[in-house]
Amino acid sequence: MNDIDVAACAQTALGYQFKDVGLLVTSLTHSSIANSRVQSNERLEFLGDSVLGIVVCEELYRRHHNWLEGDLTKVKSVVVSRRTCAVIADEIGLTGLLILGNGVAGRNALPTSLRAAVYESVIGAIFLDGGFEPAREFVLRTILTHLNLAAESQTHQNFKSVLQQHVQKYLSATPRYELLDEQGPDHSKCFEICVVIGHRRFPSAWGPSKKDAEQEAARKAFDLLREEDSPNELNE
Catalytic positions, please?
49, 120
Tell me how crowded residue 182 is: count the other CB atoms within 10 A of its CB: 13
Rounded to a whole number of angstroms, the CA Rg of the chain reads: 24
CB neighbour class for 3 (10 Å; exposed up to 12, middle 13-18, buried from 19):
middle
- The separation between CA 178 and the C-alpha centre of its own chain, rounded to angstroms, equals 34
d(CA 43, CA 48) in angstroms, rounded, equals 9
Tell me how crowded residue 95 is: count the other CB atoms within 10 A of its CB: 18
Nearest to 164 by CA among 172, 153, 175, 178: 175
